[in-house]
Structure 1
Amino acid sequence: MPKKVDHQERRTLIADALMRVAADQGLEAVSLRHVAAQAGVSAGMVQHYFRTKDEMMAFALSVVRERNQVRVTEAVTRLGTDPAPRLLLRTMIAALLPLDQRTRDDGRVALAFLAYTAVRPAAAPSLRTGTEQLTGFIASLLPAPDPDAAAAGLLALMEGLGVYLLGGQYTAEQALDALDAHLDLLFGQQRGTPGM
């Protein structure tokens, strides 16, 4: 009886290999051949699951998104029911920032994909939808006069902090301090007040 193949498992194995190549050697090193070697499979198998580099990159980004969603869900669940909006936002953003090795690896792939979409806009539509949804959710939690603009600014801060963390310009503590200072501005609170 032939062995049953788990196609999703194989695609994830290949995406993990892509992420290791991108994290270790940069996006320019990502090729079907390099990813196959990293995954320990044939180039033909990689081509069976991903016809193009764009398809491979999009799938790797979806894996990063799933991991981020799990991290955010776990962190928010620990807050209990009905957390204060400021605490909810801080918890979500802290869960998305590349503060440890595992999240740095995912962050490098996400950053590489953003750079990739800057020169290949056709690869970016899924990012636009996700960004719009996240911005809308953040805006719903902000007490600002223009919550959409404030949400866009907070999202840009998160991305900038992520870049500085990945580049080694900021430590985790510096990034979280900057996040707290910005949230203080948005919520009109000082650290240590309720709703942190």
Structure 2
Amino acid sequence: MPRKVDHRERRTQIADALMRVAAEHGLEAVSLRHVAAEAGVSAGMVQHYFRTKDEMMTFALDVVRVRSEVRVGAAVQALGPDPAPRRLVRALMTTLLPLDEESRADGRVALAFLSYTAVRPATAPALREGTTQMVGFIAGLLPGGDEVGAAGLLALMEGLGMYLLGGQYTEEQALRVLDAQLDLLFR
């Protein structure tokens, strides 16, 4: 009797391999052959699950998004019931910042995907939708529903993430800047 294959699991295995290649060598190293070798599968199997590199990249970005949502959910849960809005926003931001090895790996991949979408706009809708949802959520927590402040805070977090990944800022510096911005928004 043939073994039943979990297609989502197989696609995730390939996406994980893509992310490892991208995190270690950059997106320019991502190819069907490299991803297949990293995943320990044939190039034909990768092609079976993903017709194009864009399709594979979009799926991998979704995997990063889901992992981030799981980390954020755990951080919010740890705050207990009815956390103060500032605590909730800080927990969200610090969870998304690349402050540990897992989030640094995801951060390198997310940064690479952001660059990828800049030159391949057809792959950007998922990022656009996620950004819009995030800004709306944060604005709902800020005094007066400040959408501009929420967008600025998200941009600050992204910039701090790049500085952390590039080694220009330490964790302490990044958190100090984040806290200063939160103080301004929640005064």
TM-score (norm 2): 0.98
Equivalent in the alignment of 2:82: 82
Equivalent in the alignment of 2:162: 163
Equivalent in the alignment of 1:16: 16
1:22-57, Cα deviation, whole Å (9 max, x unpaired): 000000000110000000100000000011110111
Equivalent in the alignment of 1:41: 41
Q: How many residues align?
A: 187
The 5-angstrom pairing of residues 1-196 of structure 1 reads 1-144=1-144, 147-188=146-187
1:68-126, Cα deviation, whole Å (9 max, x unpaired): 00000000001111100000000011011111111111011111010001011111011
Equivalent in the alignment of 1:191: none
* Runs of 4+ displaced beyond 2 Å: none
Shift of 1:9: 1.0
TM-score (norm 1): 0.93
SS in 2 for 1:54: helix
**Structure ranking higher in helix proportion:** 2
Task: Please give the alpha-carbon distance, in whole angstroms, between the structure 1 residues aligned to 2:50 and 2:165.
Answer: 28
Shift of 1:177: 1.1
1:119-169, Cα deviation, whole Å (9 max, x unpaired): 11111011111111110110111115x701101100000100111111111
Shift of 1:171: 1.3
Structure 2 counterpart of 1:121, one-letter code? P
Task: Please give the alpha-carbon distance, in whole angstroms, between the structure 1 residues aligned to 2:157 and 2:18.
Answer: 24
Task: Please give the alpha-carbon distance, in whole angstroms, between the structure 1 residues aligned to 2:169 and 2:119.
Answer: 27
RMSD between superposed Cα atoms in Å: 0.9
Structure 2 counterpart of 1:78, one-letter code? A
Task: Please give the alpha-carbon distance, in whole angstroms, between the structure 2 residues aligned to 1:42 and 1:177.
Answer: 47
Shift of 1:172: 1.4
Task: Please give the alpha-carbon distance, in whole angstroms, between the structure 1 residues aligned to 2:65 and 2:35.
Answer: 20
Q: Percent identity at matched positions?
A: 75
Structure 1 counterpart of 2:148, one-letter code? A
Which runs of no fewer than 5 residues in structure 2 stay unpaired? none
